[in-house]
Amino acid sequence: MQSYSRGGPLVALPPHRRVLVLSPHPDDEVIGCGGTAALLARREVALRTVIATSGQHLAVPDLGPAEVAAARRNDAQRAASVLGTPSPVFLGFEDGSLAGSLRALSAAISDHVADFRPDAIFGPWLFDAHPDHQALAAAVAQAAVPAETEVWGYEVWAAVPVNRLVDVEKVWDLKERAMAEHRTPAAVFGTAGHLALNRWRSVHGSGGTGHMEAFLALHHSTYRLLAERLEERSAQPG
């Protein structure tokens, strides 16, 4: 299905049969692509969700980092159950410090790619406005991934330059319920506000009705090249 706007992003469910979902923190996997994951699960697509950190440094009143981490892991497991996706795997990296662990993070992603053999990887897009999100995106670029594997960059903190939209209206209730299961961050800020992105994205794909998730989808070879050029530009003085 093509977007109603001529020349706009393609509106379609991803055709992949094996999808690796990468998330910097518990809840990003729901915000960025929870509806799409739920739709793929209904089609019996093989899914694996890998979360880089446990989000332990979220400042939750009366809870220490270890307690926050345990609570957020439980949140993510309940959310996965709502979406009908497998329980996530946690890599255990330090929340807020992924940029300092790029080599190890890239190696961990490479291991999951080699083991799971996905034909698509979903993760935060390269310029999502959070250091951990940008670091995870950079680690995907550096990972050992076959050139033809598609990387679908999703949005959480900043709008992605979209070329793919997925209509998630049929599973919108599941996405809202899954987001509500992330109770720990909801004690600190209004996490449901992120879901307004999906309402806004309907303007780009269905005339302003329903809800859609947005992605920048590229083959890994192109994605890696883009990441390298962005890194070169950021290193230039001025």
201 vs 221: CA distance, rounded Å: 27
* Residue of higher predicted confidence among 225 and 188: 225
Query: Using CB atoms within 10 A of its CB, is residue 61 exposed (0-12), middle (13-18) or buried (19+)?
Result: exposed
Question: Tokens in use for 199?
Answer: 């309402």
Q: Is the pLDDT of residue 236 over 90?
A: no
The Cβ of residue 42 has, within 10 Å, a number of other Cβ atoms equal to 14
Q: Is the pLDDT of residue 3 over 70?
A: no
Q: Is the pLDDT of residue 6 over 80?
A: no
202 vs 232: CA distance, rounded Å: 34
Quote the pLDDT of residue 237: 67
Close Cβ partners of 18 (under 8 Å, ≥ 6 residues apart): 45, 46, 116, 117, 118, 119, 120
Q: Is the pLDDT of residue 75 over 80?
A: yes
Which domains occur in the chain, in start order? 14-235 (3.40.50.10320)
Question: Tokens in use for 129?
Answer: 């406005």
The predicted model gives 156-165 an average pLDDT of: 96
223 vs 165: CA distance, rounded Å: 18
Strand pairing category for 120-124 and 164-167:
unpaired
Helix and strand numbers, DSSP H then E, in the chain: 8, 8
Q: pTM of the predicted model, to two decimals?
A: 0.93
Query: Using CB atoms within 10 A of its CB, is residue 103 exposed (0-12), middle (13-18) or buried (19+)?
Result: exposed
Q: What is the pLDDT of residues 92-133, one digit of tens each?
A: 999 999 999 999 999 999 999 999 999 999 999 999 999 999
